[in-house]
Amino acid sequence: MTRRYDGKASNTRHAWHSKNYVLVELTTQSGLTGLGEMYCDGGGSPQVAQTMLEYEIAPHVIGRDPDQRGAIVQSLMDRLALSARGTAGSIAISAIDIALWDLLGRRSGLPCYQLLGGSSNKVSVYASGGMFGVGITPSTLAAEMKAAQSMGLLGAKIKAAAGTLMEDVERVAAVRDAIGSGIPLMVDAMFSPTVASAIELGKAMAPFDLHFLEAPTAMHDVVGWGKVACATGLSLAGPELSDDRDLMLRMLQADVIDYLQYDVAIAGGLTGGLQLAALAHTYRRKVTLHCAASAVAMAAAAHLGAGMGPSLCDGLEFHLMHDGLRNLLWAGGWRLSEGQLTAPASPGLGISMGSDELELLEAGVCCED
């Protein structure tokens, strides 16, 4: 399904005309269902994701015992290793894995955060927005993040590195003033700056007490990340949109990130998320969870974060723009208050698709601005 935008708002790299959401529903012979989601960024073709699911993944899932979740996911990963499909395959497997965990929860009567070992049903969340575009000024950004606080979101993240350095400083200064001191403030450069520009940006951000600088320079330039960290003294977060575990390991070994950042709809679902959490813990680093998808991936990430607990999970991104099917959270009993997203005690992911949402999915349209 697709959400349409007017194209006036943009991140550091492109204007938003649409955002695609690709969901997966697994159904057992007894009629139980499980929901999953694969990451599908705006501007790309959802047909690519659908083709991967239908032809590369589904034939090797249909007919399997859903209680054999680990074996199913491992067999899919083994096939992926020989297929040269890379991240596209990992994204598809992520959706299947999330749906299998949802199924496991529904069959056992337990919420996913308990299945994942969590003793709490809460995860810290922060507001993610701060786009560029027509009519977007430092004062409108300040108002956006102030409004997010009234929703129950206590942290804020905005984009940077699409304009001049002075513009970035003005934007960050306005948001810091709006949300107040002591509230986490993050900046996302989306891998755009050169190392020299990232250092310049980081130094300019120093007076505003950043919680972290996300994606400061080219994703795979581990040496460059190290130079940025050393020169600015800022905490860095990444690699965000990657499923490359070798890259994550190299970043941790090189001590260039303070927060290992990944997305459950990209990096292997809840199973992959648990494995990466263990990797971060090994290197005494916290996890911060990326999420720019629908309520399905949001619920999955929230359960993972709650399962990790606050000692390991620093927070979860709550996107102000990409909010497909978010009404499913509130209808399912999810609650947002004082910077915490609370999952219901209902089994699985704690969300269900009603007839209205299914009609939208069949039509391929989520909503329009």
User: Which residues in the chain are classed under CATH 3.30.390.10?
Assistant: 2-110+354-368
User: Distance between CA atoms of 130 and 159, rounded to whole angstroms?
Assistant: 5
DSSP assignment letter at 348 = B
pLDDT of residue 369: 40
Interacting residues of 81 by C-beta distance below 8 A, sequence separation 6+ = none
H/E segment holding residue 70 = helix 69-81
CATH code for residues 115-342: 3.20.20.120
Task: Report the predicted TM-score, pTM, of the whole model to 2 decimal places.
Answer: 0.94
The structure tokens listed for 26 are: 């697994």
pLDDT of residue 117: 94
User: Distance between CA atoms of 143 and 158, rounded to whole angstroms?
Assistant: 13
Contact (Cβ atoms closer than 8 angstroms) between residue 23 and residue 296: yes
Contact (Cβ atoms closer than 8 angstroms) between residue 80 and residue 88: no
Sort 354 into a burial class: Cβ within 10 Å, 0-12 / 13-18 / 19+: exposed
- CATH superfamily of domain region 2-110+354-368: Enolase-like, N-terminal domain (3.30.390.10)
pLDDT of residue 367: 46
Interacting residues of 261 by C-beta distance below 8 A, sequence separation 6+ = 214, 237, 238, 239, 240, 287, 288, 289, 290
User: Which residues in the chain are classed under CATH 3.20.20.120?
Assistant: 115-342
H/E segment holding residue 277 = helix 269-282
DSSP assignment letter at 75 = H
Q: Report which residue type is found at 68.
A: Q
pLDDT of residue 358: 62
pLDDT of residue 87: 82
DSSP assignment letter at 334 = -
Please give the chain's pLDDT, 369 residues, in tens: 788 888 888 888 888 888 888 999 999 999 999 999 999 875 556 777 788 888 889 999 999 999 899 999 999 988 877 765 678 888 999 999 999 999 999 999 999 999 999 989 999 999 999 999 989 999 999 999 999 999 999 999 999 999 999 999 999 999 999 999 999 999 999 999 999 999 999 999 999 999 999 999 999 999 999 999 999 999 999 999 999 999 999 999 999 999 999 999 999 999 999 999 999 999 999 999 999 999 999 999 999 999 999 999 999 999 999 999 999 999 999 999 999 999 999 999 999 887 666 655 555 544 444
